[in-house]
């Protein structure tokens, strides 16, 4: 173990399901680390150079095994780290291991609600972090929209943001010009490697694990054709599904058409669908009127960022009853039309709630981008402009070089 367990537990604040689950979480993290050569090389340097010495880093990211390897990099780099996750995606075993093995202040549980999640985000900010690493801009929202954390506007060195959803919120909803926020998802490597290939693969994996149904021959509607949506559509087609893409942006819809997909308006696509997958990062993409258009036995999944892409409350109100029939499937009885709709993972991210998220090697690249971006903020924040911006080009190229070194030339 990298730390004395008794000392770590005495000094660590946390709210997790069960700290006794740590041994199983340690095994998960060790398995992930064995397949993350890029991060292993970075961890070795972090331990030697300590670029985060005397800094506190607040993190909002899915609490699972690959994130555990990233936490090792930050803590061995000298940081005090406070971590929270997202509803439905936390691995309770991993959360326990991060507390017990690395002294990370973890506030996250698999069964947390969105309200719990926002309270946990507040806990992270109460550590007065010097740097934040955000996932969907939830930490940013608390800093910009309330009084409790407004002082962080003048003390933060900078931030990273993992997702397209968070980047949109920072640019559209908040006056985020107080510090530099490096948008991981603005990098081509994140968009192409992680979103297209990683998310596409893991969404298919999550759906199949949750349902155990065959995808070959199924009629599947994918809503949203950004990098994640495109990857999802491509992987589903690779499994033999007949995929229809729904996309509101005319140029992107044209792209989907040119890549060989059926394209359609949402209302026209839903009545014939066996499976519907949202991948937009926007709220209430599927609403009451859409559920009414679906046929009996339709499977509904969300692969976008927030649970609220699907209006679960409207689905419940439309139903006469609902019950969980498998660990990740809730059946909703719709009396109007006498049909049954199946919602996966309560509309939480299906690839993380029903599966293990993106493949380990994919996250090796993505978390290397995160680590080097935070290092740049810690050591050279004054060289960055106070605005949401892409990861510096030299960092992206360095990570791409390491990926080529370990993935291709090993």
Quick one: pLDDT at residue 9? Answer: 52
Strand pairing partners for 323? 331
The pair of structure tokens assigned to 89 is 């995606």
122 and 267 housed in the same domain? no
| H or E element in which residue 5 lies | helix 5-11
Reduced to 3 states (helix: H, G, I; strand: E, B; else coil), residue 140 is helix
The CATH number of whichever domain residue 294 belongs to comes to: 3.40.50.720
81 and 217 housed in the same domain? no
User: Closest Cα to residue 203, out of 221, 165, 229, 223?
Assistant: 229
201 and 348 housed in the same domain? yes
> In this structure, are residues 257 and 246 in contact, taking their beta carbons and an 8 Å threshold?
no
362 and 280 housed in the same domain? no
> In this structure, are residues 366 and 227 in contact, taking their beta carbons and an 8 Å threshold?
no
175 and 245 housed in the same domain? no
Q: What is the span of the domain harbouring residue 393?
A: 5-190+358-408
Q: What is the DSSP letter of 392?
A: P
171 and 24 housed in the same domain? yes
Quick one: pLDDT at residue 3? Answer: 39
363 and 344 housed in the same domain? no
15 and 109 housed in the same domain? yes
Which residues in the chain show pLDDT less than 50?
1-8
Cα–Cα dist 208/214, whole Å = 8
Cα–Cα dist 9/12, whole Å = 5
- Look at the chain and report how many structural domains it folds into: 2
Quick one: pLDDT at residue 10? Answer: 53
User: Closest Cα to residue 182, out of 140, 144, 146, 153?
Assistant: 140
372 and 330 housed in the same domain? no
204 and 275 housed in the same domain? yes
Quick one: pLDDT at residue 163? Answer: 87
pLDDT digits (tens, 9 = 90+) for 111-134: 999 999 999 999 999 999 999 999
> In this structure, are residues 208 and 186 in contact, taking their beta carbons and an 8 Å threshold?
no
The pair of structure tokens assigned to 380 is 């050279």
Quick one: pLDDT at residue 246? Answer: 98
Burial of 208 (0-12, 13-18, 19+ CB in 10 A): middle
251 and 371 housed in the same domain? no
Quick one: pLDDT at residue 189? Answer: 87
* CA–CA–CA angle 320, 322, 325 (5° rounding): 150
Give the domain-ending residue among 325, 353, 381.
353
124 and 213 housed in the same domain? no
The CATH number of whichever domain residue 389 belongs to comes to: 3.40.50.1480
Which CA distances in Å does 15 have to 57, 82, 119, 155? 18, 11, 11, 26
Give the domain-ending residue among 316, 334, 353.
353
């Amino acid at each position: 173990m990298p730390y004395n367990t008794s000392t770590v537990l005495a000094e660590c604040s946390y709210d997790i399901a069960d700290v006794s689950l740590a041994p199983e979480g340690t095994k998960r993290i060790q398995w992930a680390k064995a397949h993350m050569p890029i991060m292993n090389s970075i961890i070795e340097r972090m331990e030697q150079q300590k670029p985060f010495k005397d800094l506190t880093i607040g993190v909002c990211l899915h609490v699972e095994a690959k994130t555990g390897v990233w936490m090792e990099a930050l803590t061995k780099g000298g940081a005090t780290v406070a971590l929270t996750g997202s509803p439905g995606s936390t691995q309770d075993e991993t959360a326990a291991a991060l507390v017990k093995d690395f002294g990370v202040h973890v506030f996250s549980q698999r069964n947390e609600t969105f309200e719990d999640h926002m309270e946990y985000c507040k806990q992270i900010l109460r550590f007065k972090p010097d740097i934040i690493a955000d996932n969907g801009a939830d930490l940013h929202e608390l800093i910009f929209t309330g009084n409790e954390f407004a002082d962080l506007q003048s003390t933060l060195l900078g931030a990273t943001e993992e997702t397209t959803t968070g980047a949109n919120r920072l640019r559209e909803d908040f006056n985020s010009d107080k510090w530099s926020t490096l948008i991981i998802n603005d990098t081509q490597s994140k968009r192409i490697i992680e979103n297209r290939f990683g998310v596409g693969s893991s969404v298919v994996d999550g759906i199949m694990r949750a349902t155990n149904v065959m995808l070959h021959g199924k009629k599947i509607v994918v809503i949203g054709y950004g990098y994640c949506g495109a990857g999802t559509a491509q992987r589903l087609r690779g499994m033999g599904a007949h995929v229809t893409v729904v996309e509101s942006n005319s140029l992107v819809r044209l792209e989907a058409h040119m890549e060989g997909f059926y394209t359609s308006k949402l209302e026209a696509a839903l009545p014939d669908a066996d499976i519907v997958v949202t991948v937009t990062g926007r709220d209430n993409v599927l609403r009451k009127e859409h559920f009414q258009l679906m046929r009996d036995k339709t499977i509904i999944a969300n692969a976008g960022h927030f649970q609220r892409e699907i209006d679960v409350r409207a689905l419940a109100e439309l139903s006469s009853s609902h019950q969980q029939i498998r660990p990740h499937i809730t059946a909703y009885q719709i009396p109007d039309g006498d049909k049954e709709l199946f919602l996966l993972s309560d509309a939480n991210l299906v690839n993380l709630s029903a599966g293990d998220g993106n493949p380990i090697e994919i996250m090796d690249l993505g978390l290397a981008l995160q680590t080097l971006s935070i290092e740049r903020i810690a050591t050279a924040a004054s060289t960055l402009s106070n605005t949401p911006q892409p990861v510096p080009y030299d960092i992206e190229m360095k990570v791409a070089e390491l990926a080529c070194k370990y993935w291709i030339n090993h």
